[in-house]
Structures are given as structure tokens and as C-alpha cells.
Copies of this chain bind each other. A is one copy, B any other.
Amino acid sequence: MFSAQIYRDRRQALASLVGDGTILLLGYRPSPITHADHTYPFRQESSFRYFFGLNEPNSAGLINAATGTSVMYGHDPDITDIIWEGDIPPLVERAAPYGVDGTMPMQSLAADLLRSNNIMFVPSTRATMTEQLRDVVGVNRPTAEAGTRKLIDAIVALRSIKTAEEIEEIIKATNRTKTAHLIAMAATRPGITEADVVRTMRSDAASHGWIEAYGPIFTVKGEVLHNPFHRNTMSDGALALHDGALLSDLGYASDITRTFPVNGAFSPVQKSVYQTVLNAQTAVIAASKPGVLNSEMHTLALTTIFEGLGELGVTHGDSGEAVAQGAAALFMPHGIGHMLGIDVHDMEGIGETYVGYNSDVVRSEQFGRNNLRLGRQLQDGFVLTVEPGCYFIPALIDRWEQQQQWAQWINFDRLNDFRDFGGVRIEDVVHITASGSAVLGDHIPRTIEEVEAACA
């Protein structure tokens, strides 16, 4: 865990930004699989963990925004707990590493809130949390009201800027993730299944006690953007797309994608598409710095991809206009990246739009660009993914060809040669610094030569 001073500083900064009122941060309840005695592995609510640290279910924190004092709510073990769960220290001892000003039993939280003025809390779409918000603050479907919006903005402002300790954790997560990617590249060969490779990766991760940041995408059908199954047999000539990552010990995420040839050698056409995606990623990383709009980085990636496909005869004409009108979304219907931290999609449990947009930068409604999760200006201290992709999605190609959508820029005859191509995505974790940006973690094979060497 981080030092008590770090948690105290975070709470003090939050109180200062909010100014007055009572800030309620609820930890998660356990998430039942079937019922209370059969639960998923516990995951703490990220903002509670960020400000209060305690990684235990049924905890909460109150901060007096005017004074900055904080109280941790939790559970003191009774004889039944000792019999079933063991010799747990009292709450005051468990809370000590997080530097709070006091502790209280969780049962008194609802009553304490009744006596508080101007309670601010964070909405949630997680069912256990909406249930708990109903129990402790008596709201049925919590939304971001005026007072609460101030809290949301303050939390997003603070958590968006990663400190040195957080960067260290993200690097640790990324270096573990590198191991998984190297294993996948080495294990993949024609004739085995996607599941075979996933089992090999998972067995290695489990041998270290490492936890997945999310269920990995590992597939020869990379054109399916979120393909959680591992059902296909991998054939000679196909591309394998692997989007997977591990957590650090403190629960910080990474998020890395690599695409590589199942047989170890890219074909000339695969090389061309791969190099285009790599060019897009390189261009975006080079251009990312404080003050730049991430929506412009999205545009830069699309433009690079549209132009690269021109060399293959798939696209033609004015790339700027084609991208502006939305034609390039056929090849990359997702966003260029998102915030990353203790959450893979950092802070999105609060609400994606609060994290990625603001009053100056409004989310686009255009197909493809509407999936960009982070559109606003980059700032020194942000950590985000840069993940351009190029996909050939038969159902989408058919629909656009039938409607002759953007036929002035897309050569559908040529495009149909790519129906079985699949997809390429290259994703790294990038830290915005005062002067520009830096990819976090040890280098993971990325160029055509590096990837082919790692597959050998």
C-alpha cells in the first residue's frame, strides 16, 4: 500500500476542491455469484480505495469538506467472525495505515448521514452499489445531481493526474503483461486453438499469483472488436490478435494489444496493414502532449489508416474530408484510447462522459467516433491507452457497400479482397509528461521485425 501521508494528501486535496459539505465514499459490498455465501473475488470501489485505501468489503468513508477531517466506517470482528474468518484486528488497527482521523462501525453510517448536511456521493451502475446507496442515503436511482456533480468533477480532476507511485504500479502491471504477450507469441502455431494459448498464458499467470486486469481477447477473428471467446482453431496464414493485461499487486491495470502472424511470418499484405496501424500509433504517441485534444489524436489515427489503405487501393481521395465525414470509421469503429489507472477504463464506473468530456469538448454522435471514450485535452500526468486498429468487418462492409456509403472514398471491389483478413490492433499505455509523452513499461515487441522474432 501507499503511505498514510499519500492518502491524507489525497483526501485533503479532495476536500479543498469540494469546499464544503459531507463527502460520502462507499466501498463495494461483495458481489454474489448466487447468494451471500458464494461471491466473486472481492474488488474494492476505486475512488474509495484511492482516497481511503482499505481493501475490504462493507467499508465507507466520510470527509468533512470544510475541515478535511475523515472517518473510516467498517466492521469490528465478533466471536462469529473469529470462528469463521479468523483473528481479525479491530477496525482502528486496520484503518491506521490510511491515516484517517477516526473510525466508526458501519452500522452507524446511515444514522450519521441523517445528521449530516449537504451529502455528496458518487453514482454507480453496479447493482450492489445502487442497493447500498438506497440503504444508506435513501435514493432509488442515484444520478449526478448538482452537489454531487461537484464531487465527481473533483474526483476526476485528482485521479486523472497520476502520481509517481501510481506510475510505478502501472509499469509493474505492464511488465507482467509483457510476460503474457511473449508467452502468447511463442505458444501460437497453426493447428492449435485460441483456448490452448489462453490456457498456457493463464497457467503462467496463476503460477505467479497474477490476476488478469480483464478477460483477455485472444482470437484470429480480430475484426470482432470485443471477442471474449477462444473457440477458433488457428490456421496458417491467419493473424492472432491479443488484447490482455495483468494487474499490479496494488490493483493497478495495464492494457496491451499485439497482433502477430499465427505462422510466425507476416504476408506482404499483412505487413502493409500492420505497418499502417503501427504508423498511426507512432504518429499519435509522437503528437500526444499537454494541451492536445485527444479527439484530434483520434482523427490523426484515422487519417493515417485511411491513407495507408490508399496504398493498397482500398481508399482514395481527400483523407481529411473522408475522416471528417466518418468514412474511415469503417476500418476503425472504436476510439483511439481511454484513461487507465486503478481501473482499466479509469474512473468510468463514475460515468464515462464525466471522465472523457467536459463543457468544452462534447462527445460526437458520429458512427465510430461516438465510441471515443476520452475526447478532451490531454494534461501532464494523464495515463491513457493509444490503440489504433484496422479491421475488415464483413457485415459492416456489406452494409456500406449495399448503401454505397462513402463510395467516393472507398473502393468496395478492392475491399472485398480483405474479407478474410481479420483485424490488427496495437495498443500501449502512454504517460503524458510536461514535454510530451512516454510509453510505460519495458518495450514489448512492436515492429514487424520484433514481432516476427518473438514468434519464432
Q: Which residues of A contact B (CB under 8 A)?
A: 29, 31-38, 40-41, 43, 45-46, 79, 82-87, 124-128, 130-131, 195, 198-200, 202-209, 214-215, 221, 224-229, 333, 343-345, 348-349, 352, 393, 395-396, 399
Q: Are A345 and B38 in contact (CB under 8 A)?
A: yes
| Complex CA–CA separation, A84 to B83 (angstroms) | 47
Residue among B87, B195, B221, B349 making CB contact with A395, cutoff 8 Å: B87
Residue among B82, B127, B208, B396 making CB contact with A131, cutoff 8 Å: B127
* Residues on the B chain within 8 Å of A38, using CB: 214, 343-345, 348-349
| Complex CA–CA separation, A203 to B32 (angstroms) | 25
Residue among B32, B84, B199 making CB contact with A126, cutoff 8 Å: B32
**Shortest beta-carbon distance, A240 to chain B, in Å?**
15
* Residues on the B chain within 8 Å of A199, using CB: 206-209
* Residues on the B chain within 8 Å of A200, using CB: 207
* Residues on the B chain within 8 Å of A205, using CB: 206
Pairs of residues from A and B, 6 with the lowest C-beta to C-beta distance, nearest first: A127-B127, A34-B349, A203-B207, A86-B224, A202-B206, A203-B206
* Residues on the B chain within 8 Å of A221, using CB: 86
| Complex CA–CA separation, A204 to B207 (angstroms) | 8
Residue among B34, B86, B127, B345 making CB contact with A348, cutoff 8 Å: B34
**Shortest beta-carbon distance, A144 to chain B, in Å?**
14
For this complex, 23 residue pairs linking A to B, each with C-beta atoms less than 8 Å apart, are A29-B127, A31-B31, A32-B126, A33-B43, A34-B343, A35-B349, A38-B214, A38-B344, A83-B224, A83-B395, A84-B224, A84-B226, A86-B221, A86-B229, A87-B395, A195-B209, A198-B209, A199-B207, A199-B208, A202-B206, A203-B204, A205-B206, A206-B206
**Copies of this chain present:** 2
**Shortest beta-carbon distance, A390 to chain B, in Å?**
14
**Chain B, Cβ-Cβ closest to A32:** B126
Instruction: Pick the most buried of A130, A202, A206: most chain B CB atoms within 10 A of its CB.
Output: A206
| Complex CA–CA separation, A79 to B82 (angstroms) | 53
Instruction: Pick the most buried of A35, A46, A226: most chain B CB atoms within 10 A of its CB.
Output: A35
* Residues on the B chain within 8 Å of A215, using CB: 41
| Complex CA–CA separation, A450 to B348 (angstroms) | 53
Q: Are B126 and A225 in contact (CB under 8 A)?
A: no
| Complex CA–CA separation, A87 to B394 (angstroms) | 10
Q: Are B40 and A31 in contact (CB under 8 A)?
A: yes
| Complex CA–CA separation, A202 to B45 (angstroms) | 26
**Shortest beta-carbon distance, A455 to chain B, in Å?**
21
| Complex CA–CA separation, A38 to B131 (angstroms) | 19
Given A85-B227, A215-B41, A396-B83, decide whether A125 and B349 contact each other with a Cβ distance below 8 A. Answer: no
Q: Are B348 and A35 in contact (CB under 8 A)?
A: yes
| Complex CA–CA separation, A82 to B214 (angstroms) | 21
| Complex CA–CA separation, A221 to B85 (angstroms) | 10
**Chain B, Cβ-Cβ closest to A31:** B31
Given A83-B393, A86-B224, decide whether A46 and B32 contact each other with a Cβ distance below 8 A. Answer: no
**Chain B, Cβ-Cβ closest to A205:** B206
Instruction: Pick the most buried of A31, A208, A399: most chain B CB atoms within 10 A of its CB.
Output: A31
